[in-house]
Amino acid sequence: MLYLTLFISAFISATLLPSSSEVVLITMITQAKVNIWLLWCAATLGNVLGSCVNYWLGTQVLRFKNKKWFPVSAQGLEKAQDQFNKYGVYSLFFAWLPIVGDPLTVIGGIFKVRFSVFLLLVTLGKGARYLAVIALAIGIDKII
């Protein structure tokens, strides 16, 4: 149940909904007898799957670009495409960053990044982030 709770928290954190799975992860590490690697897997998997939802939403969003209520203008979409092209697909590695990370995963879907590339970059970045959080919580010497 502990690992499922972390998975759900990490999943929600990766969507555009506000949440902080790092707090849940650190609390679990400090308050309970847990398997660190299972925590890392649950957090990483949940967070990556949440990003996949964002990617899918991104693939669907352009269906509505000609609607009056659509929040982004054609010019805004073009600017986002230019920015994404400027920094490249490898910017998806930074999908773990606060504020910009979740929109990056939506943009990956909007601009039809090959899903295998998306999945690899997002998984590497988010996995590394959770590993860093764990290392800070328990001490890097206990991980190595």
* 137 residue type, one letter: A
For 92, the domain range is 2-143
Question: What element of type H or E holds 137?
Answer: helix 115-138
pLDDT score of 143: 58
pLDDT score of 70: 77
Helix, strand, coil tally for the chain in percent (to 5): 75, 0, 25
In whole angstroms, what is the distance from residue 60 CA to residue 6 CA?
A: 28
In whole angstroms, what is the distance from residue 30 CA to residue 138 CA?
A: 8
pLDDT score of 66: 79
pLDDT score of 43: 96
Of 119, 70, 122, the closest CA to residue 96 belongs to: 122
Of 128, 100, 105, the closest CA to residue 44 belongs to: 128
Of 91, 17, 3, 89, the closest CA to residue 46 belongs to: 3
One digit per residue, the tens of pLDDT, for the chain of length 144 reads 889 999 999 999 998 677 789 999 999 998 878 899 999 999 999 999 999 999 999 999 888 887 888 777 778 878 878 878 888 889 999 999 988 888 889 989 998 999 999 999 999 999 999 999 999 988 765 655
Cα torsion at 124, 126, 130, 131 (round to 10°)? 10
Residue keyed to tokens 């910009």: 100
Q: How many domains does the chain have?
A: 1
pLDDT score of 103: 86
pTM for the whole thing? 0.86
pLDDT score of 142: 63
pLDDT score of 34: 87
